[in-house]
A and B are shown apart, each in its own frame.
Chain A
């Protein structure tokens, strides 16, 4: 499902970015756009003032290239797709450059056959960091993000050696360093001073992550299993570091 959503969103964002570029391009015979705009706030020295929106919430589809052999048990390839809910809060309104507090929750899943045995990996990522934003025009934002995160990875294997399944899970850390652009798709209220606006964007970068030591043991224990004693088996350590890309849709308030 995650892969399908990402495919649709990739097409949409390509259209959105090209649309934003066309919308913001001044006609050759028209006066410059900034000569006609009425901005609510004017900062000294700023070439062009912009509307400040203090909160954003969004949904993202991302993928990472994970070359760690720890992923091999759960994926046929090196791709880890994820869905994200994210947002930003703007503590200090400045422009055209601004700094925002960014937060998010990512969930990724991948499935495969591990030596003929159905297996899956679930990854949860809670992040909190900062986003630097530059808005050269009102319909386009450029940004960079640094997002430290806590990552939990859990692999599951439906093996015949146990009635329920085997599981291996671990916490680790991560930091995303990404940059990208977003285009405004729609605005509600005054076009130049909207109460809310809808944005679509794309960012890319590198995801740094610690190594998750995966230990395989039975899961889904019944009451009868509680008296049994199980040992843990080391699976290949999972390192989720790798290049990442993200498509996102967000609403700014």
Chain B
């Protein structure tokens, strides 16, 4: 007891008083999650049980506020295009008193001060969170870090993010299991299905696939068992097509299997008449297995002038497999390189002459990209293949929003090389950095590319219209870069230095000038709580 040295007459009083627990935590090595929101940077300060929002009010000012979050942080993710932040917490475990918090999903809206909070109580602490790309739903699932004594790994909770919490929201769902557990989720776009248009949630386990009808999630899911005998193929990727929008019977789901040349095609057909009395669903998945000739590394659906095809790059054959989904007939496009990934770029470059899609393929082991026009030609299932060689294989591809959505940013695997690929002119413009830990961030208005290096405290702004790099050397390290919408409608660049108690540097994104920058140091030490307006 340290207080014994104090005035005897104050001994009782001096013995009391403990400071808030956050001050006993350390700013070094603590788990922090950082998210770029629509108009703010969000730092989930786990030890302080709060989320700090830093919003650029002008080119010269960052405004701060915070929102308390529940104890037992599990994970977080932005929703609504970054307008809101979903925070999953397990609460206090075990929960022994009324003051102990239960598990919940909190959705924070930083557009108001203090941030508005919607809390969805959960029955059990779960640690996995998947957000619907259309921000209608969130799926909460056992992520493996739970502290519960007994748990069903196939138990899911579906939260309707657009609705307030109620007796029917969240919706619990339990998958029929054949021994697997959820590993991935795919929210489909709205599909024309028997029984009406609806969205589906496709759940991948390590051995089967389950379909949940998001229009009626309380209905039992449909589990498609992929296991054949002792062999348990593992679903590795999903592709979805609605087929003809006017035809409710031609929606399909393709399931790529890990290390397997077979692709499972699920035709979502009307429930057979003899099963309508027992099936709660108006549609039934009918599986077909198609061998694409080698292990595919990606799948998507595309249109040729001959109709819809499943497209699957097969690196071992240096080919792109085209599968006619109704018949399973497969043809190959010889590419000359092994490509691993595929993406349709038809919305940018337009249809090929034959009316087919155009696909962009890139490789993680060959220094090349390829454009495949799927319009037909005599004796070929495609119109053309155009390969562009690069200096390095591609590790990742960044999309660029409009007005420069005809550009793709290809990051090379050496960490210092980048290529700006123009989908229209098919040109490749290299951008070379002098640091191997260079990261690329594309602004959400599609006008700028930011390249940064944490080790060099360096930053470069590349205007995507002229591809001219403008280099800046900051005082702080550049751990993360955020190009944000300002409150005064301008654009701000906020860089985060995670050293110490963290620091922000604020610049004007359109005309970054270090002499006009402003630094905010000691972020985690600040008190940003604002009282709720009466």
Contact = CB atoms under 8 A, between A and B. Distances in A.
Contacts of B501: 115, 117, 157, 159-161
A78 B62 CA distance: 32
Contacts of A14: 8
A202 B506 CA distance: 53
Interface string A45-81: 0000000000000000001010101011101111100
Interface of B: 2-3, 5-10, 13-14, 16-20, 22-23, 25-28, 47, 61-62, 64, 475-476, 497, 499-503, 506, 515-528
Contacts of B8: 10, 14
B23 A115 contact: yes
A44 interface: no
A233 B13 contact: no
Contacts of A229: 516-519
A63 B28 contact: no
Contacts of B9: 202, 204, 245
B17 A67 contact: yes
Contacts of B14: 63, 65, 77, 79
B526 A77 contact: no
B15 to A, nearest CB: 9
B23 A112 contact: yes
Contacts of A7: 5-6
Given A157-B522, A161-B499, A161-B503, 19 more contacts: A3-B6, A65-B17, A71-B19, A72-B20, A77-B3, A77-B14, A114-B525, A115-B22, A115-B23, A117-B27, A117-B501, A161-B497, A217-B521, A228-B517, A228-B519, A230-B520, A233-B525, A233-B526, A247-B7
Contacts of A160: 499-501
Chain A interface size range: 35 or more
B20 A6 contact: no
Contacts of B517: 228-229
B25 A233 contact: no
B20 A116 contact: no
A117 B500 contact: yes
A115 B20 contact: no
Interface of A is mostly: mixed
B525 A159 contact: yes
A73 B23 contact: yes
Interface string A99-126: 0000000000000111111000000000
A10 B7 contact: yes
A65 B9 CA distance: 12
Nearest to B528: A234
A224 B16 CA distance: 45
Nearest to B6: A63
Given A4-B5, A161-B522, A63 B500 contact: no
6 contacts: A71-B19, A72-B20, A117-B525, A161-B522, A216-B525, A229-B519
A76 B2 CA distance: 11
Contacts of A6: 5-7
